[in-house]
Amino acid sequence: MIILQKKYEYKNHYKQIKEQDFLKQNIRNGSILSISQWRKTKHIIQDQKIDVAVEFSSNDCSLSDHDEISKAAMIQINFETFKDGRPFTFAKMLRRKHNFKGELRAAGHILPDQFVFLIRCGFDSVEIKEEDKDIWLELLEIDEGLYYQP
């Protein structure tokens, strides 16, 4: 898997912590946490200035103001299916309501045809298979800049 940030390719620096290994001392720069793990540990993480990611499923994009999500370094949303449009609205909420300024990444079942939509809703990057890179870039080029909304 690779990370595409618009047309630039990156290696993934984030890693999940297995549930059985989830100990506070195992959290380090680049750890991916679930929202419940984040809720339990966010104060320590902030005290120690660790850059972690918080992960959501497209099925459960819910958040409250107490979550202080803007303090996370990265948020990853896993699409269970590309047909689920909730993450597009969730991305808008993260940017406009929760003031999240870090990297917002889409992963899971997403289509290259959705690339521009994702970017325009506030996503920065997508996690895709390396062999699919060309088609993602091709569709980015066909669609870029062609839309009516601000």
Partner 1 sequence: MYKYSDTDKKIITSRVKQFENQVKRRLEGKLTEEEFKPLRLMNGLYLQLHAYMLRVAIPYGELSSKQLRKIAFIADKYDRGYGHFTTRQNIQFNWPKLLDVPEILRELSSVEMHAIQTSGNCIRNISSDHLAGLTLNEIEDPRPWCEIIRKWSTFHPEFSFLPRKFKIAVIGCTEDRAAMLVHDIGLRIVERKNQVGFEVFVGGGQGRTPIIAKRIRAFLPKKDILNYLEAILTTYNQEGRRDNIYKARIKILVKELGIEKFKSLVEENFSKLSNKELEIDDKNIEEIFGFFRLPPLKSNTNQIPFKKNQEYQNWIKQNVIPHKIQGYSIVQISLKAPKKPPGDATSNQMIALAEISEKFSFSEIRVTHEQNLVLPHVSNKELFNLWNRLKIENLATSNLGLITDTICCPGMDYCALATARSIPISQKISKHFDNYLQQKEIGDLKIKISGCINACGHHHVGNIGILGLDRKGQEFYQITLGGSAKEDATIGEIVGPSFSENNLIEAIEKILNTYKKHKRNKSEDFLTVFRRIGIKEFKKDLYDNFTKKV
Q: Binding residue for partner 1 (CB under 8 A) from 51, 67, 68, 84? A: 84
Tokens representing residue 111 in the block: 């289509």
Say if CB 54 and CB 75 are below 8 A apart.
Answer: yes
C-beta closer to partner 1: residue 50 or 135: 135
C-beta closer to partner 1: residue 9 or 113: 113
By rule CB under 8 A, what count of residues binds partner 1?
29
Q: From 24-32, 36-44, 48-56, 132-140, give the range in contact with partner 1 by CB under 8 A.
A: 132-140
Residues in the chain: 150
Q: How far apart are CA 25 and CA 122, in angstroms?
A: 32
Say if CB 83 and CB 60 are below 8 A apart.
Answer: no
Helix (H, G, I), strand (E, B) or coil at 140: helix
Please give the residues from 1 up to 60 whose contact with partner 1 meets the rule CB under 8 A. none
Question: Measured from the CB of residue 9, what is the shortest distance to partner 1 in angstroms?
Answer: 20
What are the angstrom distances between the C-alpha of 34 and each of 128, 130, 133?
Answer: 20, 25, 28
Q: Binding residue for partner 1 (CB under 8 A) from 25, 83, 129, 130? A: 83
Binding flag, residue 133, partner 1 (CB under 8 A): no
DSSP 78-93: EES-TT--HHHHHHHH
Binding residues vs partner 1 (CB under 8 A): 61, 82-86, 88-90, 92, 96-97, 111, 113, 116-118, 120-121, 135, 138-139, 142-143, 146-150
